[in-house]
Amino acid sequence: MEKYTLAINDPDSDKAIRLKALEEWRKTHTYTGNRENAEVNNHIHTIYSFSPYSPSMAALLARDAGLGAAGSVDHDSIAAAEEMLSACAILGIGGCVGVEVRVNFKTGLDGKTSPFADRKLNNPDSAGIAYMTMQGIPRLSIPKTVEFLLPLRAERLKRSRAMANSANVFLREAGLGEIDFERDILEKSKYIEGGGITDRHLLAAIADKFIQKYGKGHSLLEGLKLKLGISISSRLGAFLSDPGNPHYLYDLLGILKAEFLPGIYIQPDEKECIPAEIVTTFAKSIAAIPAYPYLGDIKESPTGDKKAEKFEDDYIEDLFPEIKRLGYQAAAYMPPRNSLEQLLKIKKLCTEWGFMEISGVDINSSRQSFNCPEVLRDEFRHLLGTTWALIAHERLASVDTRFGLFSENNPLASMDLPGRLNAYARYGKKLDLYHPDDSAALIVLEIDKGKV
């Protein structure tokens, strides 16, 4: 990232300073890509959960990777939203925002035990607990989202403290030095600014203890083997053997997440992971789109932080009617993570159950690419259109919630979902991406007058 102004990605500065730096950078750089037919990514994590990128830098890297649109999705946090939307507008690419939370599939609001209570869904750490996203959150709904997330963030903070205490037992016995939660985790996160605390924040603090003890290179590999008793793959071993590896922390995090975290992990309770129906109901009340992110059985993790394991594939046919019943309106999937067979299966089920399809690559490491060339394949090219539909949904619903894609009061509510998605994709492509809110207001007027 040397070619970029450091201020754009400074996690310790104010977002206004980062955006100002981005504006200055844009003055001498012109975007020449074809936005309508460019790749898209709707699932980029930022410093407001765990990521090497500020929202401004995430938007810039997306733009420079040739993407026509980018979206931020942080764990338990919407704090990146305003900066992400502003950064995308500065750069003239499509922008959208969302939130990722974990929800409870164990017991429904009716008190009945779910058939998925003891099954692993899309969450490698817990059975009966699933990740879900609220996509396309309108700008006017951001304050309500902040309020909704407050108790969930507080519960996760409490559990993270307890896990840090468990980690300290190991670190003390291993002679690695204990974690100071306030200094090593809380102050290094963006929690005070509305960000989320994640397992990766804890693992980063543990990684620092290993590096302080053993340095970087072969000595660290020996320390991991000695203290954790783990066998590291030749690929990751080569990465960690190189002290100059710019992705060193993230490569080490991948190993610790897969090999160390299970030993100190504390399962979240129902205060932290509330029933899915509560979140889907809230999402729809603010004109956001509740989505189920498909994981699928894993043979090899692209980020090195997940073991080969089976997830939803054996019972995916039963899962779709359940998430429909729970109020989900979309399914999200990440083409680089799955086989063609898996992707075609999800695409088919989305059509059968009337779900919007949303694509994105879960970016939370400096080693990951912002690109997703799979969406340019004929089988998945429709995901470009649904991204522009998502952007139009978010921008138009920010003017008037009647224009949310799934609103019963939408002037296009009588159209079937494919028809509405096609119409909204056209609206998204009509937006002036440097002034999306102003042009969205004009499109709303035109729809009301029957001109669009």
Q: The domain that contains 137 carries what CATH number? A: 3.20.20.140
pLDDT class of 1 with cuts at 50, 70, 90: low
Asked which of 111-115, 169-173, 395-399 is least confident by mean pLDDT, the reply is: 111-115
How many domains does the chain contain in total? Answer: 2
Report strand pairing: 330-333 vs 289-293: parallel
Radius of gyration, CA atoms only, the chain: 22
* 190, part of any domain: yes
Q: Which domain holds residue 278?
A: 6-149+274-372
CB neighbourhood size of 395 (10 A): 30
Do 125 and 26 share a domain, yes or no?
yes
Which amino acid, 384?
Answer: L
Is 117 found in the same domain as 16?
yes
Q: In whole angstroms, what is the distance from residue 244 CA to residue 448 CA?
A: 58
Domain end, chosen from 239, 264, 289, is at: 264
Question: Is residue 449 pLDDT above 90, yes or no?
Answer: no
Domain boundary among 372, 395, 412: 372
Judged against a pLDDT cut of 70, whether residue 306 lies above it is answered with no
Query: Are 278 and 246 part of one and the same domain?
Result: no
Q: What is the pLDDT of residue 109?
A: 79
> 16-20 long-range CB contacts below 8 Å, 24 or more apart?
18/54, 18/55, 18/56, 18/57, 18/83, 18/87, 19/56, 19/83, 19/86, 19/87, 19/90
Overall average pLDDT of the 155-162 stretch: 97
Mean pLDDT of 100-111: 88
182-227 per-position pLDDT tens digit: 999 999 999 999 999 999 999 999 999 999 999 999 999 999 988 8
User: Which of 218, 244, 264 corresponds to the end of one domain?
Assistant: 264
> Do residues 200 and 311 both lie within one domain?
no
Asked if 325 and 224 sit in the same domain, the reply is no
Query: Does one domain contain both 229 and 322?
Result: no
Beta strands 40-44 and 330-333, pairing class: unpaired
Q: What is the mean pLDDT of the chain?
A: 92
Q: Is the pLDDT of residue 353 over 90?
A: yes
CB 274 within 8 A of CB 103: yes
**Exposure of 50 in the CB half-sphere (CA atoms within 13 A):** 17
Confidence of residue 34 (pLDDT cuts 50, 70, 90): low
Whether 159 maps to a domain, the answer reads yes
Question: Model confidence at 303, in pLDDT bands (50, 70, 90)?
Answer: very low
Same domain, 259 and 278: no
Two tokens at 41? 């990514």
Q: How confident is the model at residue 49, as a pLDDT?
A: 94
**pLDDT at site 53:** 97
Q: Is residue 62 part of a domain?
A: yes
- Name the nearest CA neighbour of 395 among 437, 448, 335: 437
Examine the pLDDT at 422 and tell me if it is beyond 70: yes
- Find the range with the poorest average confidence among 229-233, 260-264, 268-272, 311-315: 229-233
Does the pLDDT at position 282 exceed 60?
A: yes
Span 272-287, average pLDDT: 97
Contacts of 208 (CB under 8 A, 6+ apart): 184
Percent of the chain clearing pLDDT 70 (strictly above): 96
30 vs 324, more confident: 324
Q: Are residues 158 and 245 in the same domain?
A: yes
Asked if the structure places residue 23 within a domain, the reply is yes
Do 14 and 132 fall within a single domain? yes
Higher-pLDDT residue of 450, 83? 83
Q: What predicted TM-score, i.e. pTM, was given to this entire model?
A: 0.94
For residues 237 and 170, state if they share a domain. Answer: yes
Asked whether residue 293 falls in the same domain as residue 346, the answer is yes
Mark whether 139 and 175 lie in a shared domain. Answer: no
